[in-house]
Amino acid sequence: MDNQIIFIRVANFRDTIYAEEIKSETENSAIARGSGIAKRSIESIIEKMVCGKAVIAVTNHGEWVGFSYFETWEDGKFVSNSGLIVSPKFRNSGVAKSIKQKIFKLSHRLYPNAKIFSITSGAAIMHMNAQLGFLPVTFAEITHDERFWKGCESCVNFDILERKKKRNCLCTAMLFDPENIIEFPNYSAEKNNHFNQFKSVQNEF
């Protein structure tokens, strides 16, 4: 990874070449962690890229580094930040945090009045969410859109969600409500982008 430059930017149709790798690594990572995850199809990943709903990280040599996306619910009342995944080669470097900051910033810029939420079973994601101003909430406080919950059907823990009548599961729900924030948290990628083994460049939106 020495002397590589990483670009973290809004994905576009040219990035569809990475969709298969993103799908495979997402599934492999869930298996390795022993955690449940809603499966993402290649088609859904491509749709997010083409529609400007995803952030991708790639090197100056065209190597895929990381990915995340957002989706809107209830006519823009809620926005979910999901699918954060980093290639094993680039983990523990700080790039995940930069991608998380970028997808959050993009979501808030496009939907400034929306409540942004994330559901996860990963402690690292919870920590990054908390740094951005997210708070743990009950499932009742995030979207009730059935399309969102349908996406959980491919998760190995979906039976738990059903038994709990969608009130809770093994994932923790976290919510950023712009109405409750007096002063925005510092999500400047530049101040937190201290990679140990390579140089990173953050592109502007």
Q: What is the pTM of this model?
A: 0.83
CA 106 to chain centre: 11
Q: Please write the tens of the pLDDT for every residue from 66-87.
A: 999 999 999 999 999 999 999 9
Q: Which of 167, 76, 172 lies closest to 115 in space, CA to CA? A: 76
141 Cβ neighbours under 8 A, 6+ residues apart: 173, 175
Q: Do 86 and 71 form a contact (C-beta atoms < 8 A)?
A: no
CA 44 to chain centre: 14
What is the residue-level pLDDT of the chain in tens, covering all 205 positions? Answer: 567 899 999 999 999 999 999 999 998 887 766 555 656 789 999 999 999 999 999 999 999 999 999 999 999 999 999 999 999 999 988 999 999 999 999 999 999 999 999 999 889 999 999 999 999 999 999 999 999 988 888 787 888 888 988 888 889 999 999 998 655 455 444 334 333 333 334 443 3
Q: Do 95 and 57 form a contact (C-beta atoms < 8 A)?
A: yes
